[in-house]
Amino acid sequence: MLCPGCGATERGRSCPDNLTFSLLLPAWALTPRAKPSTCGHFGHTGPCQPTVSSETNCSPRPCTGPCIVGPRQRMDYGSPYSVQLHKCQSVALASAHRTWWLNAIRCHNLEKRSFSDLMARFQDLAVLQSVACALAFVLLGSNPAMVEAYPAAWDVTTWTDSHVTFYGASDGIETMGGACGYGNLWWRGYGLETAALSDTLLNDGLTCGACYQIKCNIASGGYSTKWCYPSNPTIQVTATNRCPPNWDRPTNAGGWCNPPRTHFDLPLVMFERMAQAVAGIIPVKYRRVPCVKSGGIKFFLGGNPWFNLVLVYNVAGGGNVKNMQMRGDKTVWYTMKRNWGQFWECPIGFRGQKLSFIVTLSNGQVRVINNLTTELWYFGQTYEALTNF
């Protein structure tokens, strides 16, 4: 094994006598709840194999590279976490742990330093490191390179357990408006085939516009399932609203939308397509599916001459917009900022210019809509693209 302070031409040789190895405890062992800068969600940054930082320094160099998330546990709000590992040079966790100690021993040159002296020097750090590595093994197994990330709760495409309730009357008046900003759902083309999602699913509004299939989980048994129709039909809904948590009630007795629960609150008519409304809550299975919409992507242009507030809707494919860009025919592209729901803002004046947009969905799909409008366009109007996903 190559000492991290030895050059490539010295492979297999002992470390130079003048090298002293400073065993650094990785940040993930000291701050197990830290939010890493490159790994996305909350979690633990993982150990990396020490690599050469200089010919005369055995200290490990910080790792860079993609992160791998273990599937064995989940964060409070449904996002996967477990231990996140930097996959540096395809080094497995076991090899990384072994490398720390072998390099430490070799770089201390045991001919001049006793093993007991070395152990005493690193005892405290070794205990902490060993505990952290043991936890990582329990959570992930011995080969993190073979671990694949579980999708977040809002992205699952396989049938997954959840529950549904209903709200409002059969006319669906109470379902209009909502946290996604669509307003009158009939005008926007969604009708009552919609759902209010718990915070675990809505993802701070970024899931607005996504589509889900839902069906009764008859196999789960229990009192509520007897109200499900025997044919077990599947419904499809678009995320248009938020089901807020009820912190005065426990999650299993009224706090149905409390994190970390996944939950769908449906219009009454959609609930009744799956089960009799005698049941207030029923167990279901859900999965994310592509949205199918009629016509092109639609843009409602709000704001004023100095500030644009654009609602994007009727989005097919992935359904939920992750990023938006906007320009006039006399300007460069400007990255828009999500204001709330599916309203996107841009504080640039575009009056008298043709407007163009780039729409990026959470699944990576991109559409460039050039010259959506002419030079003569108006705030408070909706403009439809000739394309969709």
Same domain flag for 315 and 341: yes
Residue 114 lies in a domain: yes
The stretches in the chain having pLDDT less than 70 are 1-149
Domain that holds residue 349: 298-384
Q: CATH no. for residue 168? A: 2.40.40.10
Same domain flag for 368 and 281: no
Same domain flag for 123 and 174: no
Same domain flag for 136 and 204: no
Same domain flag for 165 and 276: yes
Q: What's the confidence (pLDDT) of residue 296?
A: 98
Q: Is 117 left (phi over 0), alpha (psi -120 to 50) or beta?
A: alpha
Residue 2 lies in a domain: no
The packing angle between helices 93-107 and 115-140, to 10°, is 170
**Residue that terminates a domain, selected from 103, 125, 146:** 146
Number of domains the chain is built from: 3
Same domain flag for 23 and 134: yes
Same domain flag for 267 and 312: no
Q: What is the DSSP string of 330-378?
A: TS--EE-EEEETTEEEE----TTS-EEEEEEETTS-EEEETT-S-S---
Residue 389 lies in a domain: no
Q: What's the confidence (pLDDT) of residue 77?
A: 29
Same domain flag for 284 and 305: no
Residue 3 lies in a domain: no
Q: What's the confidence (pLDDT) of residue 252?
A: 87
Residue 171 lies in a domain: yes
Q: CATH no. for residue 323? A: 2.60.40.760
Same domain flag for 285 and 252: yes
Q: What's the confidence (pLDDT) of residue 89?
A: 28
Residue 314 lies in a domain: yes
Same domain flag for 121 and 212: no
Q: What's the confidence (pLDDT) of residue 149?
A: 59
Q: Which of 331, 357, 328, 354 is nearest to 344 (CA)?
A: 357
Same domain flag for 127 and 165: no
Q: What's the confidence (pLDDT) of residue 325?
A: 98
For the record, the structure tokens of 228 come out as 């499900």
**Residue that terminates a domain, selected from 85, 120, 146:** 146
Same domain flag for 185 and 255: yes
Q: What is the pLDDT of residues 214-268, one digit of tens each?
A: 999 999 888 889 999 999 999 999 999 999 999 999 998 999 999 999 999 999 9
Residue 1 lies in a domain: no
Q: What is the pLDDT of residues 140-162, one digit of tens each?
A: 444 443 334 579 999 999 999 99
Residue 100 lies in a domain: yes
**Residue that terminates a domain, selected from 104, 126, 146:** 146
CA-to-CA distance for 78 and 201, rounded, in angstroms?
Answer: 8
CB 389 within 8 A of CB 367: yes
160 burial level (CB within 10 Å; 0-12, 13-18, 19+): middle
Q: What's the confidence (pLDDT) of residue 26?
A: 38
